Amino acid sequence: MNHLQVGKQGEALAKAHLQDKKYKIYDQNIRLGRDEIDIIAYDTAEKMLVFVEVKTRSRYDADFLPALGLTPRKKRALRRAAWKWMQLREYDAPWRIDIILVIGTRVQRHIKQMH
């Protein structure tokens, strides 16, 4: 599997994970200018819009943590994309950015972050 296929598989697993947790999926792979959002969902338990960044690895790597895959530049791009999306839809309610780590065929970690 090439890296694009691994990424797509990871996003599909992350989406299924969110649906299992009763999140409502709004959209996927949204491009806003040069920025991208992997998944946009609604956390029904916390009543909050969630912009999800999915980090996927085909196999376990002890040195890899999802937070390390999110550079300051990537964090700024995610916030910028979230703001653009919310402005386009005039959304003004609670929101956050989450990271989901997928290794192989399993979601290993779901980190709920605030913006």
Show the domain range for 69: 3-113
Asked if residues 49 and 73 have their Cβ atoms less than 8 Å apart, the reply is no
Q: If DSSP states are collapsed to H, E and C, what string results for 83-107?
A: HHHHHHCCCCCCEEEEEEEEECCEE
pLDDT at 81: 96
Predicted pLDDT at 10:
92
Kindly report the CATH number assigned to the domain that includes residue 60. 3.40.1350.10
Please identify every stretch of the chain with a pLDDT value under 50, giving residue numbers as ranges. Answer: none
What is the domain count for the chain?
A: 1
- Quick one: pLDDT at residue 67? 55
Tokens of 43: 């956390």
pLDDT at 63: 66
Place of tokens 């959304």: 91
